Chain A
Amino acid sequence: MISRVNYPIWSITSWLIALALMAPVAVMVFSGLTANSDTLTHLWQTVLPHYVVNTLLLALYVVVLVILFGVPTAAIVSLTNLKTRNVLRWALLLPLAMPAYVIAYLYTDLFDYAGPIQRQLRALFSWQSPNDYWFFDLRTLTGAAVMIALVLFPYVYMLVRTAFEHQDPQLIKAGKSLGLSDKQCFLRISLPLARPAIAVSASLVLMETLADFATVQYFAVNTLTTAVYDTWLEYGELSTANAIASLLMIMVLLSVAAEYRARAHQRHQLSASKEPLTMIILTPIQQIIGNIYCWLLVLAGFIFPFVLLLDMTIQYLDSTEFEQLIQAGMNSLKVSIYAATIASILALFLVLYRRLSGVKRSEVPLLLSGYGYAIPGTVLAMALLATFGPLDHWINDLAVWLNLSKPGLVLSGSLFAVIFALITRFSAIANGTITSGITKIPQSLDIAPESLGVGKLHTVLKVHLPLLKSSFIVAWLLVFVEAMKELPAVLVLRPFNFDTLSTQVYQMISDERLEQGAIGALFIVLFGLLPIIVLNKKEKIH
């Protein structure tokens, strides 16, 4: 047994960090459960069941769609000799950079009654009114599901592709030696083996879908996230909002549990392949179909909206409100840099604690601090309001009692709440990145310096930190980008008159004038491309 040094301060601080990050959610659930308002009863008797059904339907549609989009593309890119597969490998990740609400707006603009497509059709067939023809309505639950699926399917694509690529190629050979054709090998070996990866990625998508706010809001599809927001803003009922948020939280926890179960069965997936996979050779017709399928998704999920956005930016450059945008951009940078820096440092602290303390329970702070990722931004915002609001009151009461001037809403009404929310929500990303970095450092390096007469703390400074530098940078970048994109939490918690790029873009979308802020959306997308480039680079190095 290797002797481990235990710094009590380190251990206590780790637990405190984790508890602090999770405390607001506990407070919210408690306040939600004890909510006893007429509004809740009223909501339950009127619209809430409908919202729950909408939420469940949206989740179901999105999950079905992302599997339909993600699994075949993953199979085509990793298992066949498709001509453009080397480009598609990364091109299929691009939609991740597009916020769903932005493509929702762009496509609505395009397919609306007043949009160019319908105008052209009317001109072409000389139709006079909407009664003369049928055209699909994008602003429905199904439309929202398609929009969300178009930008989230890369999660499924990415994880399932990795699963296919890591399958032992000998299993396919074994299948063939037992008389199975390519197609049978795929259906009976590759696909069942990728099932855990499909389940994990689908539950990730599920969490993201339950967290979506702006798309459904824009399409006027009422779900639990919009209900939380409306209850808080329209009725001013924090505890009712908390109750609905708690309900949503339960749904999220169920999908977290599902994900956990799926991961538990992933053990047999770990064999890294020694030899290249034998490719399924496609016939010319299959080549064409495969290319069309994959490229349509890239086109619809990224290229097309990106071009529309670019076009909008150029066309409306004159009427763009630059001053506002620059202010919002600076604000975005500010909160994102704070959040990324603090989250990465906390992750480093927790990961090192877990590694060096060596006791089993040291894992708990790391796990706890990661659960924030599953909490929808709207729910998290409610949790922080429920916690920081009363705290602010106490602080003010205390100030009065001490004969000091009232400090105001120092916690709930300032950037503190926004940054706290971003850290809680995206700590998991930093934790995961730095954990995967530290597992690449051999355990023997933890103790080798001791044999050279070097102390533990010095070891951390001289060995672990330098080796973790690149993981730290990647973690920082990933959190930075996610913080940049986060909308609902910032929307609820931001101080008065404070806008970030995402809240401003959302505002402009709500006002149906994205044209004037298209450049802001373009920036969000461009920042969103950063992690894709980083991920792609990392993959090439390995």
Chain B
Amino acid sequence: MSDILTINQLSVSLQKNTILADINLSLTSGEILGLVGPSGCGKTTLLNTIAGFNQLNSGSIIIDKLCINNTNPVPAEKRNVGVIFQDYALFPHLTVWQNIAFGLSKETKEEQKLRIEKLLILLGLMPQAQKFPHQLSGGQQQRVAIARSLAVRPKILLLDEPFSNIDARLRNGLMIELRHLLKSLNISAIFVTHNKDEVFSFADKIALMHHGKIIQAGTPREVFDHPNCWQVADFLQIGSWLPVNVREKQVSTVLGDFTVEDLILNNGEHFVLLVKPQYISLIPGNANSVVKHISFTEHGYHYLLSSIDSSDPLAFEDLSFYSQSLLSLEQEVRLQLIPHSYQLFAHQTHSFST
């Protein structure tokens, strides 16, 4: 499949601050990319730069053979990139029909009518055609914004936090609906979110950004199973962190020791172990952990535990663990690591109070 979007070594500075540095990314036709990362990591800037609302400083963006770089800064209106804004940015003075017709001035009235009707039917907006944006629900407004963008047949669709204004209860349904739509029309899309659940259910591919760089990209499965650094695992909340002591190939933790084969040690580097909740078990014996917080979830009880001896240099905090059995607050228990393919990450300090 051919690439619809290729980004090469893109850098962007705004007011002399480097916001994006050395971004490389590609998207094939019909692929949906989820762009995730903490606030201020540059997600929205990347989206704005692709759309043409920001100038790029170096590198290039190629949108379906149209190359945009420093010497050829194509203005936003010439890029054929659709944008769905966080608050949808519907024109309040125009009806749903007029909003969708907005970008269609080049076509004949008859063509416009056919196109708009098709989109209204596709998105289930026919009964709302003559209403104004403020008369619509959040979900309907989003569909109008999508119809308006699709009307001009964009090469790519960019969505800035598309589900943040949607009621939590309806969000999942809308995500599935939108994914079906984009897939059926074979439209490539990039969407920005800071909600990891949205990425996992909506994207074909995810790219995790941190401090203006893409630190890992791949399918959700790849990234979830093999995060390449602690920031990725930490942002996606793949598991909890356990401080470890590494000597040769021997690794010791409060919850048990194990050996690893392929670890390369650098001087002065600290390591932490990523522990997914399913790799912890409750066993009888001398207590090593204490229950600090209990909540009830659809997967049973969710506990956060800390080590009993907080003065231990390997002491841990907020270890996440699910169980069907009920423990009480401040109850002391013994936890053990279940042997698995251990994932150790280099990190400057032990603390993760982010």
Contacts and interface: CB of A to CB of B under 8 A. Distances in A.
Interface of A: 168, 170-171, 173-181, 188-189, 192-193, 195, 267-268, 278
B66 to A, nearest CB: 14
A168 to B, nearest CB: 6
Given A170-B87, A180-B77, 4 more contacts: A173-B51, A174-B83, A177-B154, A268-B134
A168 B88 CA distance: 11
Contacts of B102: 175, 178, 188
Contacts of A175: 77, 102
Contact of B87 (A168, A188, A192, A278): A168
Interface centre among A170, A193, A195, A267 (most CB of B within 10 A): A170
Given A179-B152, A267-B134, A171 B91 contact: yes
A171 B89 contact: yes
A268 B148 contact: no
Contact of B103 (A170, A180, A192): A180
Contacts of A188: 102
Interface string B47-62: 0000111000000000
Which DSSP category, helix, strand, loop or mixed, fits chain A's interface? Answer: helix
Given A168-B87, A170-B87, A177 B82 contact: yes
B83 A173 contact: yes
Contact of B89 (A173, A192, A267): A173
A268 B92 contact: yes
Contact of A173 (B85, B92, B154): B85
Interface of B: 51-53, 75-83, 85-87, 89, 91-93, 102-103, 133-134, 148-149, 151-152, 154
Given A176-B76, A178-B102, A179-B77, A170 B89 contact: yes
Contacts, number: 64
A189 B91 contact: yes
B52 A193 contact: no
A278 B93 contact: no
A173 B103 contact: no
Contacts of A170: 85-87, 89
Contacts of A268: 92-93, 133-134
Given A168-B89, A179-B103, A268-B93, A173 B134 contact: no
Contact of B85 (A174, A195, A267, A278): A174
Contacts of A189: 91
A176 B87 contact: no
A173 B87 contact: no
A177 B92 contact: no
30 contacts: A170-B85, A170-B87, A170-B89, A173-B51, A173-B53, A173-B83, A173-B89, A174-B83, A174-B89, A174-B148, A175-B77, A176-B76, A177-B76, A177-B79, A177-B81, A177-B83, A177-B149, A178-B102, A178-B148, A178-B152, A179-B77, A179-B103, A188-B102, A193-B91, A193-B93, A267-B134, A268-B92, A268-B93, A268-B133, A268-B134
Given A174-B83, A176-B52, A176-B77, A192 B93 contact: yes
Contact of A178 (B52, B53, B93, B103): B103
A189 B82 CA distance: 18
Nearest to B78: A179
Nearest to A189: B91
B98 to A, nearest CB: 10
A515 B70 CA distance: 63
Contacts of B82: 177
B94 to A, nearest CB: 8
Contacts of B152: 178-179
A347 to B, nearest CB: 32
Nearest to A267: B134
A198 B77 CA distance: 28
B114 to A, nearest CB: 18
Contacts of B78: 179
Contacts of A168: 87, 89
Interface centre among A171, A175, A176, A188 (most CB of B within 10 A): A176
Interface centre among A171, A178, A179, A268 (most CB of B within 10 A): A178
A342 B103 CA distance: 56
B106 to A, nearest CB: 8
A173 B86 CA distance: 12
B5 to A, nearest CB: 15
